[in-house]
Amino acid sequence: MATKDSGDGASRGPLDGVLVADFSRVLAGPYCTMLLADLGATVVKVEGPAGDETREWMPPARDGVSTYYLSVGRNKRAITLDFADPADLAVARRLAARADVVVENFRPGGLARFGLDYGAVRAANPATVYVSITGFGPASDLPGYDVLAQALSGLMSVTGDPARPPTKAGVAIVDVVTGLHAGLAALAALRHSDATGAGQHVEANLLSSALSALVNQSGAHAIGGVVPGRLGNEHPSIFPYGPFPTADKDLVVAIGNDAQFRRLCEGLGMPRLAADERFATARERAVHRDALRPLLEAALAARTAAEWHDALAPAGVPCAPILDIGEAFARADALGLEPVVESGGMPGVRHPVAFSATPPTYRHAPPAPDADRDWVLRLLGEPGR
């Protein structure tokens, strides 16, 4: 990894010394750069005079600031630069030239007129890793909104009840997956740059990320020529695998192999069911799900979801109640995962990966607009205001 001093204090993680110029906004790019910042990179978030629009995406809010913005803003430094102002544009160019990694999600070609495109940045620093995140690749000018990607990728076509219209996921999941892909690619390119001194242009887009994230569903088409449809909470290949009604509320049962199914049948007091040739193998259970479902529902109706969970889970049957997000945090906390962390007094969600030697750190609260102008200017060797 790069070793130059970031000016951001003592060693903080595996990416300590890596400088990231973040010209992205909304979610995919900012999520990517937050994860890099958690791992020790110095991330400078550059915003135009209008600011990142997600600062105003509320409710909900905390102290008048959108929780949407706050959820991906920690550990960053912020500077506001007006590219129409020659002095501000010069700062942006110096920052990009100094950075080990540049992340941007402007429309394709949108930074060229400011001399901040890959060609210009590479001319100033051949080692820079330049990450572009677009909606649908460099040939498309369609805005990169997550819901458009969910629609165009086919994700919505396989989400929801088959008797109702397609529906989007409950979170901007394509943005999140694209941010993960961009971060992984940035680290791979950074390793190459450190080894050879040559940076490169890394391009991620929402549509390609969504098609990759559809895994077995997109694979069914690419490999088998199948066009999957909506199955609601059903799985196309395995059963039982989803929510089932009990005496009070639904219990999710996830049976991935024949041994688990036998344990389920034993736990339900129906051991002979596992020997029925219609249900003995995963393939047969999937084919005969309409015959199996009412048998399972009749048995599960005898007890509550909590009672079944307490009886079946210890017996090795994968099952779980459906929790709301507040309950999910409580469950994670009870499991010792400590899901809430504080960065500069601001609570947030813990980085998702644990490291035995170089754990993530939580150093700064999400910054206000232009909060770190003087700090960034000093980083670039210029006097502050």
Band of pLDDT at residue 12, cut at 50, 70 and 90: confident
Instruction: Report the alpha-carbon distance of residue 268 to residue 266 in Å, rounded.
Output: 5
Residue 75 sits in the same domain as residue 205: yes
> pLDDT tens for residues 296-325?
999 999 999 999 999 999 999 999 999 999
CATH number at residue 352: 3.40.50.10540
- Total domain count, the chain: 2
CATH number at residue 253: 3.30.1540.10
Catalytically active residues, by annotation: 175
> pLDDT tens for residues 30-51?
999 999 999 999 999 999 999 9
> pLDDT tens for residues 122-180?
999 999 999 999 999 999 989 999 999 999 999 999 999 999 999 999 999 999 999 99
Could you say which DSSP state residue 238 is in?
-
Residue 74 sits in the same domain as residue 177: yes
- C-alpha angle 61/66/71, rounded to 5°? 105
Determine how many CB atoms are found less than 10 A away from the CB of residue 358: 14
The SS3 call for residue 62 is strand
Q: Is residue 123 part of a domain?
A: yes
Q: Is 242 left (phi over 0), alpha (psi -120 to 50) or beta?
A: left
Residue 65 sits in the same domain as residue 99: yes
Q: Is residue 231 part of a domain?
A: no
Q: Which domain holds residue 131?
A: 19-213+340-379
Residue 345 sits in the same domain as residue 322: no
Residue 107 sits in the same domain as residue 254: no
Mean pLDDT estimate for the chain: 95
Residue 1 has pLDDT above 70, yes or no: no
Q: Hunting for tokens 């990894």 — which residue is that? A: 1
Residue 325 sits in the same domain as residue 373: no
Name the strands in the sheet holding 250-254, side by side, starting at the edge strand that comes first in the sequence.
241-245, 250-254, 319-321
Contacts of 109 (CB under 8 A, 6+ apart): 117, 138
Instruction: Report the alpha-carbon distance of residue 81 to residue 305 in Å, rounded.
Output: 55
Instruction: Report the alpha-carbon distance of residue 175 to residue 213 in Å, rounded.
Output: 11
